[in-house]
A and B are shown apart, each in its own frame.
Chain A
Amino acid sequence: MSAVKKARVAFFDFTCCEGCQIELTNLGQDVFLGLLEHIEIVEFREAMSEQTKERIDIAFVEGSFSREADRARLEEIRARSNLVIAYGACAATGGINALKNHTTDYKKFVYSKDANMPHLDSHNALPVSAAIKVDFAVNGCPMDRNEFVYIVSHLLHGKTPVIPNHPVCVECKKRETVCRYHLGDHCMGVIARAGCNAPCPADGIPCEACRGFIDQPNEAALVKVLVEKAGFSNDRAKNKSRMFTANLRSDVK
Chain B
Amino acid sequence: MSYFFLKESDLKDFVRKLISSAPVIAPVARKNKFVFADLESPDELRLDYDITILPPKKAFFPPNQTLLSFKENKATSAIRPREQILFGVHTYDVKAIDMLDLLFAENNADNNYLANRKATTIVAMTPQAVSGRAFWESVGKTVQPNGHDALMTKIREGYVFEPRTPQGTRLTKSGIFSQASSGQLDEASKCQSEIAAKCPEKLSHSTREISDKMRASFNNEKIWHTASLDCFSCGTCNIVCPTCYCFDVQDQWNLDQVSGARYRTWDACLTEDFAKISLGPAGAENFREERAERFRHRMMRKATYLNSRLGGPACVGCGRCSEGCVPDIADPVKIINNVMES
Contacts and interface: CB of A to CB of B under 8 A. Distances in A.
Partners in one complex: yes
A165 B265 CA distance: 14
A16 interface: no
Interface on chain B toward A: helix, strand, loop, or mixed SS?
Answer: loop
B271 interface: yes
Contacts, number: 114
Interface string A8-22: 000000000000000
B200 interface: no
Interface in A137-178: 149-150, 153-154, 156-157, 162, 165-167, 169-170, 173-174, 176, 178
B233 A218 contact: yes
Contacts of B234: 166-167, 169-170, 189-190
Contacts of B235: 166-167, 169-170, 173
B231 interface: yes
Interface string B228-260: 011111111001100000000010110111100
Interface residues of A, number: 42
Contact of B72 (A1, A35, A162, A170): A1
A2 interface: yes
A222 B234 CA distance: 12
B232 A167 contact: yes
A224 B291 CA distance: 17
A107 to B, nearest CB: 36
A1 B52 CA distance: 45
A206 B64 CA distance: 23
Nearest to A170: B235
B253 A157 contact: yes
Interface stretch (B25-33, B88-96, B176-184): B25-33
Interface residues of B, number: 38
A214 interface: yes
Contacts of A150: 252
B32 A225 contact: no
Contacts of A149: 255
B89 to A, nearest CB: 16
B232 A178 contact: no
Given A216-B272, A224-B327, A174 B239 contact: yes
Interface in B27-77: 30-33, 35, 52-54, 63-64, 72
A183 interface: yes
A170 B236 contact: yes
B268 interface: yes
Nearest to A224: B230
Given A4-B257, A221-B231, A225-B326, 9 more contacts: A156-B257, A167-B233, A170-B235, A173-B54, A174-B63, A174-B266, A183-B32, A189-B234, A190-B326
Which A-B residue pairs are the 8 nearest by beta carbons? Answer: A34-B255, A166-B271, A174-B63, A169-B234, A173-B239, A221-B230, A167-B234, A153-B253
Interface of A: 1-2, 4, 31, 34-35, 37-38, 149-150, 153-154, 156-157, 162, 165-167, 169-170, 173-174, 176, 178-179, 181-183, 189-191, 214-218, 220-222, 224-225, 229
